[in-house]
């Protein structure tokens, strides 16, 4: 039977099923669940927030397939000053040193006071350290990063760091719709 969990990943845990040297996100779950569940995608060790954990291989595949472009929204704090028209440039895609620019992303600057910036960033791809690299390309350095939604589902605000809960049937169906999975 398929199982789906929303985990509020704390900073410091590796997003992996297991690791010989470092503690992983699976340590948040009871031993009985660890063998069958897998994290969907990755969050950097120093990033916290929404991480989907499931044993549904097809959903995992659909959500992570490069052509699906499932949205992920992050809240970030950064030091520096974002260049003028940053929001417009993020919508056009940015050069972050890869073979091609990023896909268009939505940047919302929540606060810019002196050298301190707070922002929301919604991406539709998941390149290595992408949020940090995009913010750096715009003139600032991320000091705190939290994924606040995945595939349009918001992180449950009642979950403590390291806490998890099963997804509701409605949430599972919503994710399957976002992934482009057909019923059947």
Active site residues: 44
Distance, in Å, from the CA atom of 13 to the CA atom of 45, rounded to the nearest integer, reads: 5
Distance, in Å, from the CA atom of 25 to the CA atom of 13, rounded to the nearest integer, reads: 6
Separation of CA 126 from chain center:
8
Cβ pair 29, 53 in contact under 8 A: yes
Identify any residues that bridge with 38 across adjacent strands, giving them in sequence order.
Answer: 54
Q: Is residue 81 packed enough to be buried (19+ CB in 10 Å), middle (13-18) or exposed (0-12)?
A: middle
Report the alpha-carbon angle 29-50-27, nearest 5: 20
Cβ pair 58, 51 in contact under 8 A: no
* Beta strand 140-150 pairing with 153-154: antiparallel
């Amino acid at each position: 039977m398929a199982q789906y969990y929303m985990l509020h990943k704390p900073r410091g845990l590796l997003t992996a099923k297991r690791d010989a040297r470092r503690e992983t996100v699976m340590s948040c779950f009871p031993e009985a669940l660890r063998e069958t569940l897998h994290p969907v995608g990755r969050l950097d060790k120093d990033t916290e927030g929404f991480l989907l954990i499931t044993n549904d291989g097809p959903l995992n595949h659909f959500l992570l397939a490069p052509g699906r472009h499932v949205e992920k929204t992050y809240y970030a704090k950064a030091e520096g000053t974002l260049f003028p028209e940053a929001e417009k440039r993020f919508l056009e895609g940015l050069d972050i040193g890869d073979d091609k620019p990023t896909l268009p992303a939505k940047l919302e600057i929540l606060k810019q006071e002196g050298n301190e910036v707070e922002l929301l960033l919604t991406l539709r791809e998941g390149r290595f350290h992408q949020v940090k690299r995009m913010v750096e390309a715009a003139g600032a350095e991320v000091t705190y990063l939290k994924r606040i939604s995945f595939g349009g589902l918001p992180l449950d605000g009642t979950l403590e760091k390291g806490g998890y809960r099963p997804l509701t049937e409605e949430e599972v169906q919503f994710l399957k719709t976002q992934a482009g999975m057909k019923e059947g």
